[in-house]
């Protein structure tokens, strides 16, 4: 896999995780906010109703209520609640454990919550429940009996006649004390549309973020490719080119000033140095060849295994071969007894020196036609980094 692909994959994964996390957090946050807003609305509806009832209870005269039952605080509050919530998803009721009107009978959830209100310091309670498969917010605000309420919710004897008629002695809706919870305003709101709106918001957000993500990935990929990978590829191609062609002369161009630019610069310097050395070596080689060419003695240069790599004209004549034929031949083949020279080379490698090297010895040379010559031979060694080369200077002994 190419580095660009790998990097893009890694970055994509990281960004994707990041965006998912962000989207999830923001969705969660939206959900919380929406719920908090819904609770606020439920609370303000409930408060308005309670305030209406409290106000009415404190101003209305029993005689007026007897004449017009529509003025019963409970009835007025119910009507106001109806009008307040008309056309909205909010559904409001007033419930009590000791209800007068069977319509105000609490459902199981309300009953449970009302029971909790009987402790000290009753306060609002809400919860999201699933009703008929729909997530629904249930909100209850306790209603506390004021002194004015006791007119109709206190003792049976005190209650106006129209109340006594409807709710006979012993009815549970009497005998409240001030401060006691008499019931609650119960608000419920299905949250489906709210959640759906959030979900749509999330979808929109995800689409937008996806587009941004794609753009980010493409841009990052492009940037990484152009600023890092392309120059690196250029360097590696340059090296490959040098390796395959052996040509050190064309430098790699670099436009950047960063680490890669410096790498290319160093590479070019290395190439220039190599080129310089190669040239120097070639020059030294040429000088050496020219020099041995004019020498009056046969000279051959050979590798440790005897393979001849350089020979001069006099050597050609001595061995009876042209230069092309001579190069690549083994020097030992031309010696009547190659053993001392082979031993000398072996000694040089094992002990670092040898009797053969630097000293003149007598050897018998056999030319290509099989003729034998007595010669004096001096062998020298030149050690380069990679290998040793031996040069033999021969001098024919005239009998």
Residues that bind ligand HEC (CB under 6 A): 53-54, 57, 62, 65, 72-75, 94, 96, 99-101, 104, 143, 145-146, 148-149, 151-153, 163, 173, 182-183
- Collect contacts of 339-347 with beta carbons under 8 A, ≥24 apart: 341/377, 341/379, 341/392, 342/306, 344/379, 345/304, 345/390
Shortest Å, Cβ 20 to ligand HEC: 49
| Rounded Cα–Cα distance for residues 162 and 347 (Å) | 138
Q: Which residue, 24 or 91, has its beta carbon nearer to ligand HEC?
A: 91
Closest listed residue to residue 263, CA positions, set 281, 290, 236, 244: 236
Which of 73, 248, 85 shows the shortest CA–CA distance to 163? 73
- 50: Cα separation from own chain's centroid: 56
Q: Which is nearer to ligand HEC, 62 or 251 (CB)?
A: 62
Burial class (CB in 10 A: 0-12, 13-18, 19+), 374: middle
Q: Could you tell me which residues come within 8 angstroms of residue 287 by beta carbon, excluding any fewer than 6 positions away?
A: none
Place of tokens 């979900």: 199
Residue nearest to ligand HEC (CB): 149
CB of 46 to ligand HEC, least distance (A): 12
Q: Could you tell me the smallest distance in angstroms from the CB atom of residue 193 to ligand HEC?
A: 30
Q: Alpha-carbon distance 183 to 111, whole Å? A: 10
Minimum distance of ligand HEC from residue 126's CB (angstroms): 19
Q: Which is nearer to ligand HEC, 104 or 188 (CB)?
A: 104
Tokens of 393: 């200077």
Quick one: 152 or 310, whose CB is closer to ligand HEC? 152
Q: Are 392 and 299 in contact (CB under 8 A)?
A: yes
Residue 94 CB, nearest distance to ligand HEC (Å)?
5
**Nearest distance from residue 69's CB to ligand HEC, in Å?**
7
User: From CA 129, how far away is CA 137, in angstroms rounded?
Assistant: 6
Nearer to ligand HEC, 149 or 394 (CB): 149
Nearest to ligand HEC of 166, 287 (CB atom): 166
- Whole-angstrom distance, CA of residue 225 vs CA of residue 239: 19
Q: How far is the CB of 106 from ligand HEC (least distance, A)?
A: 9
Tell the smallest beta-carbon distance from residue 136 to ligand HEC (Å): 22
Nearer of residues 181 and 321 to ligand HEC, judged by Cβ = 181
Nearer to ligand HEC, 140 or 311 (CB): 140
How far is Cα 134 from Cα 318, in angstroms, rounded to an integer? Answer: 112
Q: List all residues 6 or more positions away from 93 whose beta carbon is below 8 Å from its beta carbon.
A: 81, 104, 110, 185, 186
Give the span between the Cα atoms of 115 and 127, in whole angstroms.
15
List the Cα angle 161/167/168 in 5-degree steps. 85
Q: Which of 209, 195, 225 is nearest to 17 (CA)?
A: 209
Tokens of 367: 């030319």
The span from the CA of 12 to the CA of 226, in Å, is 18
> CB-wise, 152 or 331, nearer to ligand HEC?
152
Q: Please, what is the minimum distance in Å from the beta carbon of residue 43 to ligand HEC? A: 17
- Least CB distance to ligand HEC at residue 128 (A): 25
Cβ-based nearer residue to ligand HEC, 50 or 311: 50
């Amino acid at each position: 896999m190419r580095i660009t692909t790998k990097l893009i994959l890694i970055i994509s994964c990281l960004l994707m995780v990041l965006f998912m996390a962000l989207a999830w957090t923001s969705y969660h946050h939206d959900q919380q906010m929406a719920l908090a807003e819904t609770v606020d609305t439920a609370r303000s509806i409930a408060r308005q109703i309670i305030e209406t009832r409290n106000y009415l209870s404190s101003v209305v005269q029993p005689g007026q209520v007897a004449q017009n039952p529509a003025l019963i605080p409970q009835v007025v509050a119910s009507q106001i609640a109806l009008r307040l919530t008309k056309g909205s998803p909010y559904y409001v009721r007033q419930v009590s454990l000791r209800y007068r009107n069977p319509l105000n009978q609490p459902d199981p959830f309300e009953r449970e919550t009302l029971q909790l209100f009987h402790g000290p310091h009753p306060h609002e309670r809400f919860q999201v429940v699933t009703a008929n498969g729909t997530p629904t917010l249930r909100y209850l605000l306790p209603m506390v009996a004021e002194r004015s309420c006791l007119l109709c919710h206190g003792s049976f004897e005190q209650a106006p006649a129209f109340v006594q008629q409807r709710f006979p002695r012993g009815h549970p809706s009497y005998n409240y004390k001030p401060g006691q919870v008499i019931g609650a305003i119960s608000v419920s709101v299905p949250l489906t549309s709210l959640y759906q709106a959030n979900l749509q918001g999330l979808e929109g957000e995800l689409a937008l973020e996806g587009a941004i993500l794609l753009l980010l990935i493409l841009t990052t990929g492009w940037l990484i490719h152009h600023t890092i990978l392309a120059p690196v590829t250029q360097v590696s191609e340059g090296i490959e080119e040098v390796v395959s062609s052996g040509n050190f002369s064309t430098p790699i161009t670099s436009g950047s000033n960063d680490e890669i630019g410096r790498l290319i610069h160093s590479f070019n310097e290395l190439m220039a140095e190599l080129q310089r050395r190669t040239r120097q070596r070639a020059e030294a080689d040429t000088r050496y060849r020219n020099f041995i060419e004019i020498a009056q003695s046969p000279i051959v240069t050979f590798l440790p295994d005897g393979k001849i790599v350089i020979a001069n004209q006099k050597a050609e004549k001595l061995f009876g071969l042209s230069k092309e034929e001579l190069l690549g031949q083994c020097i030992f083949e031309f010696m009547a007894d190659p053993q001392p020279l082979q031993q000398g080379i072996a000694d040089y490698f094992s002990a670092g020196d040898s009797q053969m090297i630097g000293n003149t010895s007598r050897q018998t040379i056999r030319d290509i036609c099989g003729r034998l010559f007595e010669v004096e031979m001096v062998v020298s060694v030149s050690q380069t980094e990679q290998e040793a080369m031996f040069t033999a200077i021969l001098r024919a002994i005239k009998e």
